[in-house]
Amino acid sequence: MESGYHIVVCGSLVPDPLQTLEPDVGPKGPALKNEMVLPSVLDPWAAHALYEAAHLAKEYAGSKVWLVSVGPKQRLQQLMMTVAQKAPFSFVPVDGSASGFCDPFETATALANAIGAIPDLDRSRLLLFGGYASASRDAGVTLQVVGEMLGITEVFLAVDSLSVSENGEISLLERVEGGNYLFSECDCPPLVVGWATGHLPEPPNNPQIGMANMRSIMPALQKAPQVQVGAEGVSFAKVELPQQQRTTRIVKDVPVEQIAGEIVAWIRG
Amino acid sequence: MGPDLEKGTENPVDRLNLDVDIACVGFGPAMGGFLTTLAREMEQASGEPHVQSTVLPGMPLQVVCYERADDVNFGVSGLVTEARAIRNTFPDMNPSEIPLAHPVSEERIVYLLDPHGASRRSLGLRIADSAIRGLRWVLPYRRSALELPFIPPFLKKHGGLVMSIGQFMQWVSNQVSSSGMVQIWPGTPVGEPILEGKQVVGVRIADQGVQKDGTPDVGYMPGMDVRARLTVVGDGPVGAVGQRLDEQFGLPEGHHQHDWAVGMKVVVSLPDHCDLVPGTVLHTLGYPEPEIFGFLYVHPERIASLGIFVPSTLASPVRTVYRYLQHWMLHPYLWHHLEGGTLRSWGAKTLQESGRLGEPYLAGDGYARIGEGSGSTNVLTGSGVDEAWMTGVLLAEGVIDLLKKGEPFTQANLEAAYTNRRRKSWVETGSRKAQHARDGFRKGFVTGVLGMAVSGLTRGALNLKTRSAHPREGIPDLNQYYRDRISSEELQRIREECAKNAIPLHDALMTRAGWPEIPLDGKLLISQQDALLLGGKVQAAPGFADHVMFVDPAVCEQCGTRLCIEACSAQAIAPSPSGGTPEFDREKCIHCGACIWNCTQPRPGDRERGNIRFYAGAGGLHSAEN
């Protein structure tokens, strides 16, 4: 019997943190102003999922990791330059919008179709990973729908820890209210795991991994199918960002209590 | 760990190796030209014997390019270019496909007078300014500025392009990467070249998972040794690999790298009332100090790039850039267009202004150098991107020749295939004409402008040559510099106050010397720290060592000038509360490299270099609009 897990990570690009985002309504619906000019990164939540997947795959021989992404092909190509040195994976790109205004059901359909088309994917060993939230939309919804479409009934969200016992049982810690964890045990895959932040740091760039990954990434990008995942037919009454009031002060080594005190004072006005 | 720290350790680090055919360092315009040309040849001849890999037989040539910045589009340049070489590479290029690109539509050169009387102007210049003001009714004089009635041919960019270097490099990377022939890896700083005798046999990636001082930490991964038949060095004027090669091999006889500048820019959403049309190119001189040049280029969609160059010939011990940039924007001639605008992006970079005289050895055993760090900038026309691109193309052509012939990348072969090509190119012809064009600025602004005009109008036949000297030699001490404006007692008081608050001196001194306070508006006129966050989006991933190191703390202790603090574009170098060696904050650094040439203290045993070492580090600007 083959061992190890088949881990599929769903995740795509979002604007690089600290970028100034301006929503705009164009002819094709809501979008970000100058979206093509904005640099992008792998959604930090999905990135945690990818690092956890790579870590798990390294621990369990025979495991394999796929990264499945719906995003504009050209942007995904550039994204791979910053991601592909981090962990070994096979890339499954789908050419479509990664905007925050996509319909989760359509995105989930595209993802589920792409996952379903992965050759040799063993569903009895499948762990479906992703971020339980996202920097651009509520990925938890999308991830659950993908799981549903793939017929996976065991769904865990806001997970910070996944461990495997000697007999193969999978234990998970899910974040719940009040800063507590819900502890769950699961006999075996398939599972859907929507990661919170996990505990792993960002892996260093490894040129060997990058070179090996890139050999399959470019052919995959060339074959990426196109999909429509926009919210066609939906009219958006209003699109706006929360109002920000910015006061910058850069300080170092300030005690947590003092920072908290200043925030409380600011809230109280 | 910095390269020097490892030498002599009892337990050398066990590093992994990666074998490739060609390892490239730095993804700028020169590397864009190199990789585009090489990838096209590889695509056309895919499977043919002459471009097969020797490290992976049967596979195409293995070409990797490592870039320090976190993405391929985080470069900085005030970019208007004739695009001669770029268009030659992409004859069908449509500027509208590249965000922020637009053909040049209108050009102006403007002499800015000082509306505040705060800048340091020579007597001759003050007389000239008075004459201009007196004749303002008959001259093209507007809002304290004189629009020059003609543009010297050597400064014309008509037919060229206004671009964002970030967006252009992103476009180029897409073209190159989609071929599948070349791998480009941003976020991967290269620590140093690997030398075996005089041969470069590859590069060493910077260590990851280390503390600030380079000692291993959680997730330690020693930088990998990437071994290559050919190492292409295009890491710019302050790149770590280029610097190490210069230290190792020196410069050719008669060459020097004494002339530098910091270029600092902002990208602005222009206000509704601004009537500047896309493609407008505006160059300024004369203000905020006579030696400081400025530029404003208008992109499509009411966006403009604008900024200033503060050269090493500005002999000020508080050679700041950010505050000068704000005064420049506030000049009535420019503020008329900018008032109400919003800052979108900000950044800075060092420019190597010695041009061809700063050229290092272009090729050696196993390596070749291209781009600005190879002395390709034309200092007369102020053009660098197109020239850099061309050097990359020329090297690629030479490399293809050698690959086809199956010849090794020895110094002799590379000189025949690349250096000779470059000598016969328009890059060389232009840079030879330009090589003394800016010499006059060492003697002052008026002499500099005259010298430039003479060199330009005679196409380099006549030049106003002056002796070159390390930038530190022209820097007076504070008392001397401010002797006619601030008493030594007050200077001492300001110094003590700034030291107590661990802040640079320049703001306090400029205000005291007559510069008006900047009326911060929260949109375009913002604090320098806000510019880092709102404009540069500066970030620094953990796990890398500090890339700015003070070589000998004792030298810093006795330094009275501390110009590194004043000139730091991002306030990343700050006074130490204890008053000793300055403190460096990697999280603010934008890797402009100004600290290298602004250090006024010679390095022990090497007077050509300062007491600051600049290694390769990850992070920095995260704006793709610069």
| Cβ <8 Å between A18 and B622 | yes
pLDDT at B494: 94
How far apart are the CA of B262 and the nearest CA of chain A, in angstroms?
24
Chain segment A230-243, per-residue pLDDT in tens: 777 777 777 777 66
Asked if pLDDT for residue B501 goes beyond 90, the answer is no
| Cβ <8 Å between A211 and B183 | yes
Separation CA B113–CA B285 (nearest Å): 9
Which residues have a Cβ under 8 Å from the Cβ of B219 and sit 6 or more positions away?
A201, A203, A204, B208, B209, B543
Per the CB < 8 A criterion, the answer to whether B451 and B440 are in contact is yes
Chain segment A30-74, per-residue pLDDT in tens: 788 777 788 999 999 999 999 999 999 999 999 999 999 999 999
How many degrees, rounded to 5, is the angle at CA B621 between CA B86 and CA B245? 65
Asked if pLDDT for residue B577 goes beyond 90, the answer is no
Residue B65 host element (H or E) = strand B63-66
List A166's β-bridge partners, or say none: none
Instruction: Please report residues of A whose CB lies closer than 8 A to that of B503.
Output: none
Residue of A nearest to B544 (CA): A204
Both tokens of B329, joined, read 């924007």
Counting residues of chain B whose pLDDT is more than 70, the rounded percentage is 97
φ, ψ (nearest 5 deg) of residue B383 = -115, 130
Counting residues of chain A whose pLDDT is more than 70, the rounded percentage is 94
pLDDT at B366: 98
What's the mean pLDDT when you consider all of chain B? 93
Instruction: Please report residues of A whose CB lies closer than 8 A to that of B585.
Output: 252
Which residues have a Cβ under 8 Å from the Cβ of A118 and sit 6 or more positions away?
A8, A66, A68, A92
Distances (CA, A) of B333 to A89, B72, B117, B130, B287: 56, 35, 16, 18, 11
Q: State the sign of the Cα–Cα–Cα–Cα dihedral B266, B267, B272, B277.
A: positive
CB atoms inside a 10 Å sphere around CB A88:
16
Instruction: Please report residues of A whose CB lies closer than 8 A to that of B530.
Output: 246, 248
CB atoms inside a 10 Å sphere around CB A123:
14
Chain segment B140-180, per-residue pLDDT in tens: 999 999 999 999 999 999 899 999 999 999 999 999 998 88
Asked if pLDDT for residue B59 goes beyond 90, the answer is no
pLDDT at B47: 56
pLDDT at B8: 41
What's the mean pLDDT when you consider all of chain A? 89
Both tokens of B577, joined, read 């509360």
B622 closest CA partner among B596, B594, B589, B593: B589
pLDDT at B506: 94
Chain segment A179-208, per-residue pLDDT in tens: 899 999 999 999 999 999 888 888 999 999
pLDDT at B379: 95
Single-letter residue type at B536: G
pLDDT at B147: 97
- At B50, the pLDDT band (50, 70, 90 cuts) reads low
How far apart are the CA of B624 and the nearest CA of chain A, in angstroms?
6
Separation CA B82–CA B388 (nearest Å): 12
pLDDT at B368: 98
Where is average pLDDT lowest: A221-235, A241-255, B188-202, B406-420?
A: A241-255
- At A20, the pLDDT band (50, 70, 90 cuts) reads confident
- At B219, the pLDDT band (50, 70, 90 cuts) reads confident
Where is average pLDDT lowest: A174-178, B114-118, B365-369, B567-571?
A: A174-178
Nearest CB to B186: which of A17, A82, A211? A82
Asked if pLDDT for residue A98 goes beyond 60, the answer is yes
pLDDT at B1: 39
**Which domains does chain A possess?**
6-222 (3.40.50.620)
Mind giving me the DSSP string for B324-367? HHHHHHTSHHHHHHHTT-EEEEEEEEEEETTGGGG---SEETTE
Asked if pLDDT for residue B192 goes beyond 90, the answer is yes
CB proximity A231 to B under 8 Å: no
What B193-200 contacts at long range (C-beta under 8 Å, 24+ apart), as own/partner pairs, is: B193/B231, B193/B233, B193/B241, B193/B244, B193/B245, B193/B248, B193/B367, B194/B225, B194/B227, B195/B248, B198/B249, B198/B364, B198/B365, B199/B364, B199/B365, B199/B366, B200/B231, B200/B245, B200/B364, B200/B365, B200/B366, B200/B367
Distances (CA, A) of B138 to A258, B135, B284: 63, 6, 21
Q: Quote helix, strand, coil % in chain A, to nearest 5.
A: 35, 25, 40
CB proximity A27 to B under 8 Å: no
Q: Does residue B528 or residue B6 have the better pLDDT?
A: B528
Interface of B with A in 34-53 (CB under 8 A): none
Per the CB < 8 A criterion, the answer to whether B592 and B350 are in contact is yes
- Cis bond upstream, residue A189 (ω within 30): no
Chain segment B294-344, per-residue pLDDT in tens: 999 999 999 999 999 999 999 999 999 999 999 999 999 999 999 999 999
Give the β-pairing of B225-233 and B78-81: unpaired
Chain segment B598-617, per-residue pLDDT in tens: 999 999 999 999 999 999 99
| Cβ <8 Å between B71 and A37 | no
List B94's β-bridge partners, or say none: none
Asked if pLDDT for residue A29 goes beyond 50, the answer is yes
pLDDT at A247: 63
pLDDT at B546: 96
Interface of B with A in 584-603 (CB under 8 A): 585, 588
How far apart are the CA of A83 and the nearest CA of chain B, in angstroms?
9
Q: For the domain covering B19-79+166-256+357-434, report its CATH number.
A: 3.50.50.60
Average pLDDT for residues B203-210, to the nearest whole number?
A: 96
Give the pTM.
0.94
How far apart are the CA of B592 and the nearest CA of chain A, in angstroms?
20
Both tokens of B97, joined, read 């496909």
Distances (CA, A) of B450 to A182, A245, A257, B295, B440: 77, 50, 61, 20, 7
Chain segment A67-95, per-residue pLDDT in tens: 999 999 999 999 999 999 999 999 999 99
Interface of B with A in 485-524 (CB under 8 A): none
Q: Give the 3-state secondary structure of residue B618.
A: coil
Q: State the sign of the Cα–Cα–Cα–Cα dihedral B522, B523, B528, B533.
A: positive
Interface of A with B in 239-268 (CB under 8 A): 246, 248-250, 252
Quick one: A119 exposed, middle or buried, by C-beta within 10 A (0-12, 13-18, 19+)? Answer: exposed
Average pLDDT for residues B283-291, to the nearest whole number?
A: 96
pLDDT at B5: 38
Per the CB < 8 A criterion, the answer to whether B363 and B369 are in contact is yes
pLDDT at A113: 97
Nearest CB to B170: which of A78, A82, A206? A78
Tell me the CA end-to-end span of chain B in Å, nearest whole number: 30
Domain ranges of chain B: 19-79+166-256+357-434, 436-468
CB proximity B608 to A under 8 Å: no
Where is average pLDDT lowest: B42-51, B161-170, B174-183, B358-367?
A: B42-51
Q: State the sign of the Cα–Cα–Cα–Cα dihedral B66, B69, B73, B78.
A: negative
pLDDT at B49: 57
| Cβ <8 Å between A20 and B534 | yes
